[in-house]
Amino acid sequence: MEGTGVTAAALVYRESKPERDAPEAIVIAFHPEGEDGRDTDAWLSGLKAHCQVVVPKAWRALNPRMYGPDENQHFAWFFVYGPAQPEPATFGDSLFQVEQFVHDVRERVPAGVPILLIGWDQGAALAVTLAGVIPEFIDGVLAFDGYLPEISGWALPSDDLGGLPVTLVHRKGSMVPPALRAATAEALQARGASVTGDTGDGIVIEDWVRGCARLGKRTFAEVS
């Protein structure tokens, strides 16, 4: 069953639910910049038979004057100064929105079902950051070319990620500098995340989701 909607976080989203069985996991996917969620939704089609897939759309149009058949198909979560250098105000605004989005989804899905985050590029940066903001409400993060942004005067609010599984995938041609990749992994590990890495050649999203789903829902006691 597929549909669209708008949450209290004011984000439009696409959603697919298994037709018959209860979902093995809730997968919230954050699309890359330059997209509107439709391609991301299609990339995750293999999950829809056994998972509930929710794909919110960023609301910042890359070209607000764009008209024609491609109108409103190209969006960004935040503005940037350069590769992997978010503009703090728009990054913080989107981080707040996606945090609220996760809470909105959590309140209306079956209790006890793991909630997993997957992101690409800007969406991956948000997913990775959420690991250090609301670790008690999510059960795994898969980030393609994600990173923790280096923003002066700001740090992750959570000091204990309670073994949260985080897989950092940096594909060939990734714009994330190697030093920032290493700093991101080290910061998450220092806070207790279970961090793994991959080049992107061997990662299969369906296998990753099923692996996290088998681990089950983490409890509040695991995140102190």
The residue-averaged pLDDT of 24-45 equals 94
201: CB partners within 8 A, 6+ apart: none
Q: Give the model confidence (pLDDT) of 133-185 as tens digits.
A: 999 999 999 999 999 999 999 999 999 999 999 999 999 899 999 999 999 99
The amino acid present at 25, given as its one-letter code, is: A
Query: Which one, of 115, 172, 167, 173, lies nearest residue 146 by Cα?
Result: 167
What are the backbone dihedrals phi and psi of residue 52, each rounded to the nearest 5 degrees, phi first? -90, 120
Helix (H, G, I), strand (E, B), or coil: what is residue 127? Answer: helix
Q: Which of 6-20, 42-56, 65-79, 167-181 has the lowest mean pLDDT?
A: 65-79
- What is the pTM for the complete model shown? 0.89
Q: Please report, for the chain, the start and end positions of each structural domain, with discontinuous segments joined by +.
A: 2-222
Average pLDDT, the chain: 88
Strand partners, 117: 28, 141
Find how far residue 88's CA is from the centre of its chain.
18
User: What's the confidence (pLDDT) of residue 224?
Assistant: 43
CATH architecture of 2-222: 3-Layer(aba) Sandwich (3.40)
Q: Give the model confidence (pLDDT) of 76-101 as tens digits.
A: 999 999 989 999 999 999 999 999 99
User: What's the confidence (pLDDT) of residue 67?
Assistant: 44
